[in-house]
A and B are shown apart, each in its own frame.
Chain A
Amino acid sequence: MSVNLSPQRADPAPVRPRPGRHQQPSRRFWSQLDIKATPYFLISPYFILFAIFGLFPLVFTFWVSLHDYELAGGDAEFTGFANYASLLTDSAFWNAVINTVGIFILATVPQLVLALMLANALNKKLRGRLFFRLGVLIPLVTSVVAVAIVFTQLYGRDFGMINWILGWFGVENINWQNAKWSSWIAIASMVDWRWTGYNAIIYLAGMQTIPRDLYEAASIDGASPRRQFWSITLPMIRPTIIFTVFISTIGGLTLFAEPVMFGSNRMEGGSTGQFQTIAMYIVKEGFRDFDYGYAAAAAWLLFVLILIGVAINYTFVRRIGGTK
């Protein structure tokens, strides 16, 4: 070919007039302007909306959290870090933190381990692959509120199916809402039911990018399937695992709909707050008791908690599958 359509990639101004054809100066101006300005025009909708509905609320939340800010549009008295100080000594807040972290761990660890096993199974050659993939993914499609309603019924004390099944093994009817441990298990199971298949599909995608010959070579060297899983599969999909851990951390620490519905659409999280999460606490303080400053401070502490959670998980996941 006589025309090379791919100029050097480093060339900052890819438009060059063809030899022998003169461009009008004004046309050249417009095309230069187009090249310089249009990219910003294309990304501007995102950044303008982000400034209004993302950045501004974030900064303003911090401002509100430094005030005694009670009614929307009402007086705001500057109180410095008083909201934060009283939050940190508020046992109800700490109760919500402990509940959130507890449910998060109870939900996330089995979820990701199960998802890994499930992905490994789905990665084998079998008939009806699409059926199984769709089957494990269907919980994701149901709405969170719907899941919570159905599971709350399954966990019913007198007529719930879970107690009925446990009854076969001689277990007395459990009042699942009543105690911390039982309500945490119930809520964690709702999260697991919904998200395990999703994570499995994500892991499966990661597994399918691993070159087959790695496994073949390992087989020739006499490595068992179990050994291959630990030494090849896990290290190779580590970026995917980090991704799912991030998503689960953010989702888990902002848990809201499941515990709200489990507690009959109230923000208290049971009679003694045994399953009230931080998100519920924020809504209760801000939109039931109208203490906006306090709620805003709690929102920022939630953010700090997420950062801590992500940092801990990151260092933890980095260790998976050796030192690489």
Chain B
Amino acid sequence: MLTKIALGITVIVSIFPIYWMIIIASRTNTDAVSVPPILLPGGNLGENIARVLATEDAHFLQGLLNSLIVTSTVTISVVIISTFAGFAFARLHFRGRNLLLGSILITMMVPLQQMGIVPLYQLMVDLGWVGTLKAVILPYLLNGFGVFLMTQYTDQAVPEELVEAARVDGASTMRIWWNVILPAVRPGMAVLALQTFMLNWNEFMWPLIVLTPDNPTVQVSISFLTAAHTTDYVLIFTGTALSVLPLIVVFIAFGRQIVGGLMEGAVKA
């Protein structure tokens, strides 16, 4: 019983800030600063959304669209690259396998986006890509964690015998990947895709530096909204709520898989 109460309080604390964000998004500016705070929804949500979309210097819709493009491109790339490499590391024999896998594990400890921020910026300047989506997509196309996850997953989901049997039947390595590996590791790919999507949707520091204010991602867009309209709480909160919305939708649709995937990944790590 005590456990349930403690857990219940934790869940309330977890949900409250999100709930309150949506409440304020449906209210007016006087409601937002009232003491005691107002905790029930009002009727201004539609009007507030229209105001966010009409705020020119935030380029909110553009930001939302950009985030969608960047995040889906990155997710697809990370999943494919990781599935390829995971297959090779888990089920193929080649010289230097352990060394190469080890090097990936070590580099997972290096915060590349922050360590390499100056040269990455220089690279984007030289390529003329500052302000374009290419600049935020390319450095994120790979992910050491993804390779690690797919290696573990392939190792567990595809029996060695299955690969050998396909070999004896004369299948080429790519054919084995397509016909044997791919169908078996689909759940792992889904988990990796969900995690990559969430992680990338949240990326803030690099887009803030390399993008221009008129072509932002959604996180950069709400940060501009905050800086330019400090006292318009409702505007800021509505924008913020809209930026979280896609993640909440993903979470409600795939919550069970996200929990399961996190737990599986943790056990294998």
The residues in B between 92 and 129 inclusive whose CB is less than 8 angstroms from any CB of A are 92-94, 97, 100, 104, 107, 109-112, 114-123, 125-126
| 0/1 string, B1-38, CB within 8 A of A gives 1 | 00110110011011101101100100000001111110
Docked Cα-Cα span, A140 to B241, in Å, equals 15
Q: Are A145 and B262 in contact (CB under 8 A)?
A: no
| 0/1 string, A112-147, CB within 8 A of B gives 1 | 000000100110101000111111111111111111
Q: Which of B50-58, B183-191, B242-250 contacts A (4 or more CB under 8 A)?
A: B242-250
Docked Cα-Cα span, A126 to B8, in Å, equals 12
Q: Are A250 and B111 in contact (CB under 8 A)?
A: yes
Q: Are A137 and B7 in contact (CB under 8 A)?
A: no
Q: Is A164 an interface residue (CB 8 A)?
A: yes
Q: Is B76 an interface residue (CB 8 A)?
A: no
Docked Cα-Cα span, A206 to B265, in Å, equals 10
Q: Are B164 and A6 in contact (CB under 8 A)?
A: yes
Q: Is B153 an interface residue (CB 8 A)?
A: no
Q: Are B104 and A240 in contact (CB under 8 A)?
A: no
From A18, A135, A142, A295, contact of B244 by CB (8 A):
A142
What are the residues of chain B within 8 A of A209 when measuring CB–CB?
267
Q: Are A145 and B117 in contact (CB under 8 A)?
A: no
Q: Are A46 and B81 in contact (CB under 8 A)?
A: yes
What are the residues of chain A within 8 A of B223 when measuring CB–CB?
145, 260-261, 265
What are the residues of chain A within 8 A of B233 when measuring CB–CB?
153
Q: Are B114 and A197 in contact (CB under 8 A)?
A: no
Docked Cα-Cα span, A47 to B141, in Å, equals 11
| A-B contact number at CB 8 A | 308
Q: Is B155 an interface residue (CB 8 A)?
A: no
Q: Is B165 an interface residue (CB 8 A)?
A: yes
Q: Is A84 an interface residue (CB 8 A)?
A: no
From B10, B173, B236, contact of A136 by CB (8 A):
B10
What are the residues of chain A within 8 A of B258 when measuring CB–CB?
137
Q: Which of A50-58, A180-188, A214-222 contacts B (4 or more CB under 8 A)?
A: A50-58
Interface residues on B, range: 35 or more
Q: Are A72 and B121 in contact (CB under 8 A)?
A: yes
Q: Are B111 and A254 in contact (CB under 8 A)?
A: yes
What are the residues of chain A within 8 A of B120 when measuring CB–CB?
53, 57
Task: Count residues of A near B (Cβ-Cβ below 8 Å).
Answer: 104
| 0/1 string, B73-84, CB within 8 A of A gives 1 | 000000011101
Chain A nearest Cβ from B81, distance in angstroms: 5
Q: Are B18 and A303 in contact (CB under 8 A)?
A: no
From B20, B123, B164, B170, contact of A14 by CB (8 A):
B164
Docked Cα-Cα span, A156 to B237, in Å, equals 14
What are the residues of chain A within 8 A of B35 when measuring CB–CB?
159, 164
Q: Is A85 an interface residue (CB 8 A)?
A: no
Find the residue from A16, A43, A47, A287 having the highest chain B CB count within 10 A: A43
Docked Cα-Cα span, A135 to B224, in Å, equals 30
Q: Are B172 and A193 in contact (CB under 8 A)?
A: no
**A136/B110 contact (C-beta < 8 A), A46-B104, A149-B226 known:** no
**A197/B14 contact (C-beta < 8 A), A31-B172, A42-B177 known:** yes
Q: Is B85 an interface residue (CB 8 A)?
A: yes
Chain B nearest Cβ from A224, distance in angstroms: 16
Q: Is A66 an interface residue (CB 8 A)?
A: no
| 0/1 string, B199-228, CB within 8 A of A gives 1 | 001101100110000000011001110110
Q: Are B14 and A139 in contact (CB under 8 A)?
A: yes
Q: Are A53 and B138 in contact (CB under 8 A)?
A: yes
Q: Are B3 and A198 in contact (CB under 8 A)?
A: no
Residue of B nearest to A199 (CB): B266
What are the residues of chain A within 8 A of B118 when measuring CB–CB?
57, 60-61, 64, 69, 286, 292, 295-296, 299
Residue of A nearest to B176 (CB): A38
Question: Across chains A and B, which 7 residue pairs bring their CB atoms closest together, nearest first?
Answer: A57-B116, A135-B11, A205-B263, A60-B119, A38-B173, A39-B94, A265-B227
Query: Which B residues form the contact surface with A (CB < 8 A)?
Result: 3-4, 6-7, 10-11, 13-15, 17-18, 20-21, 24, 32-37, 80-82, 84-85, 87-89, 92-94, 97, 100, 104, 107, 109-112, 114-123, 125-126, 138-139, 141-142, 144, 147, 160-161, 164-165, 167-168, 170, 172-174, 177, 198, 201-202, 204-205, 208-209, 218-219, 222-224, 226-227, 230, 233, 236-237, 240-241, 243-244, 247-248, 250-251, 255-256, 258-259, 262-264, 266-267, 269
Query: Which A residues form the contact surface with B (CB < 8 A)?
Result: 5-7, 9, 12, 14-16, 18, 31, 34-36, 38-40, 42-43, 45-47, 49-50, 53-54, 56-58, 60-61, 64, 69, 72-73, 118, 121-122, 124, 126, 130-147, 149-151, 153-154, 156, 158-159, 161, 164, 193, 197-198, 201-202, 204-206, 208-209, 239-240, 243, 246, 250, 254, 256-257, 260-261, 264-266, 279, 282-283, 286-287, 292, 295-296, 299-300, 302-303, 306, 310
